[in-house]
A = this chain, B = another copy of it.
Amino acid sequence: MVHRPVPFDELDRKIVAALIANARTSFAEIGADIGLSATAVKRRVDRLRESGIITGFTATVRPAALGWRTEAYVEVYCEGAAPPRRLAEVVRNHPEITAAMTVTGGADALLHVRATDVEHFEEVLERIRTEPFIRKTISYMVLSHLLPDSPEAGAARPAAEGAADLR
């Protein structure tokens, strides 16, 4: 997964900024803003995607509007050495885990978990704690967002869409 460095200039920077601000902006409009033809913008976007700088285009949603009203960070402590490969498998078993990473400090991993409500969150936590080599967890429930427009506040991964049914 090593990406070779790829030329990236001021025009690319502006294109990426425009697409982060609105992924549906037309290449023609971006081109007009930065002084390039639509075709040139398209070729640069194609290159930015192929080189792995742009990884995709997604809609951002308010999870609460789809029934995901509860959110927490969970520190995970494992028995003995916890190989990240094995941890990643565990994480993929639980669609409510929307982000997971290994971190410095006492915990082996930090999980971001979304649930429909506190009861659902408790159920998820019990499911995670039943996994073979998880020793303990410490949860921090999110109370309110201080940057309401951050990606973490609004994004939902596709695996979590089922909750739309539950509202």
Contacts and interface: CB of A to CB of B under 8 A. Distances in A.
A164 interface: yes
A81 interface: no
Contact of A143 (B57, B103, B112, B158): B103
Q: Which bracket fits the contact residues of A?
A: 35 or more
Given A59-B57, A61-B55, A147 B103 contact: no
- Identical subunits present: 2
A146 B58 contact: no
Interface string A96-140: 011111111101011010000000000000000000000000111
A66 B16 contact: yes
A152 B152 contact: yes
B157 A149 contact: yes
A147 to B, nearest CB: 5
Nearest to A107: B140
A107 B22 CA distance: 34
Given A16-B161, A73-B73, A165-B13, A24 B57 contact: yes
A136 to B, nearest CB: 15
A60 B61 contact: no
Contacts of A97: 147
A88 B60 CA distance: 22
23 contacts: A3-B62, A5-B167, A12-B164, A13-B165, A16-B161, A20-B58, A21-B158, A52-B65, A53-B62, A55-B61, A57-B57, A57-B60, A73-B73, A91-B147, A97-B147, A99-B152, A100-B146, A101-B145, A102-B143, A102-B146, A109-B146, A149-B157, A152-B152
